[in-house]
Amino acid sequence: KFIRRTSIDELPQFINVLKGEMSVVGPRPHMLSQSAKFIKIVDKYMVRHYVKPGITGLAQVRGYRGEIETDADIINRVKLDIFYIENWSFILDINIIIRTIINAIRGEEKAY
């Protein structure tokens, strides 16, 4: 539980960042099977694929973390992902990184 709560298990993803496959900040990736399902549920779902996936993102620091349990969960995540893409800035990335660190230190239940 400690590992998940503090997001230590996310550290290996930094290898993907170094390889250029991911960004530190961006929409969290989903499994292909989930994407196929979400395309049918969420209008503009594929817009989130215009940028590299990230280790953390705006949706995650706004509380949409962990399992997707309802259609509203994925709809709200995608809205925040699209907002991030359309309003990207270096300052926004720094803000998301700082908020991610604070959430991990606090050990918030949904800080993964």
Residue 25 has, within 13 A of its CA and on its CB side, a CA count of 22
Residue 96: burial class (beta carbons within 10 Å; 0-12, 13-18, 19+): buried
Helices (H), 19-108: 32-41, 58-61, 71-86, 90-106
The per-residue pLDDT for 112 is: 44
Per-residue pLDDT of the chain (112 residues; tens, 9 = 90+): 666 666 677 788 999 999 999 999 999 999 999 999 999 999 999 999 999 999 999 999 999 988 899 999 999 999 999 999 999 999 999 999 999 999 888 876 654 4
- pLDDT tens-digit profile of 12-21? 899 999 999 9
Domain spans of the chain, in order of start: 2-106
Tell me which residue of 67, 71, 84 sits closest to 37, measured CA to CA.
71
